[in-house]
Amino acid sequence: GAGVSQSPSNKVTEKGKDVELRCDPISGHTALYWYRQSLGQGLEFLIYFQGNSAPDKSGLPSDRFSAERTGGSVSTLTIQRTQQEDSAVYLCASSLGGAETQYFGPGTRLLVL
């Protein structure tokens, strides 16, 4: 596709369950970012992938959060043992390596009951 896509668009889960969120970046973009946005809050950086380099995980809030990027393209953000405070919109963005401008996906709205 022409833009960044994310799936699912909405996810409702029960506290304690694991969830996987998927991001398909723009083809050819080597940089990929995950952010979290809570209601009325700014974008909170979670993790950054650049090419084959080790990801920058400095924004992950706890060890329940992890992310992978396979083949330098698709990325999956996994949240284990979800908590109610994990409820937020999870946004993925990609960019050309070394470029500043980020292209965002529509986000996955996660609700933990």
The tokens for 85 are: 């405070």
Q: Which is nearer to another protein, 14 or 39 (CB)?
A: 39
- Considering the rule CB under 8 A, would residue 30 count as an interface residue with another protein? no
Question: And the tokens for 64?
Answer: 């329940």
Q: Give Cα separations from 100 to 17, 29, 33, 51, 85 (angstroms).
A: 36, 12, 12, 15, 30
Q: Give the C-alpha separation, 111 to 108, whole Å.
A: 10
Contact 109, 11 (CB under 8 A): yes
Q: Which of 21, 91, 110, 112 binds another protein (CB under 8 A)?
A: 91
56 binds another protein (CB under 8 A): yes
User: Candidates 13-21, 39-47, 65-73, 78-86 — which segment interacts with another protein by CB under 8 A?
Assistant: 39-47
How many residues touch another protein under the rule CB under 8 A: the total is: 25
Residues in the chain: 113
* Two structure tokens written together for 54: 């080790």
Quick one: which segment of 12-20, 63-71, 76-84, 103-111 binds another protein (CB under 8 A)? 103-111
Query: Which residues contact another protein (rule: CB under 8 A)?
Result: 4, 31, 33, 35, 40-43, 45, 48, 50, 56, 59, 91, 93, 95, 98, 100-107
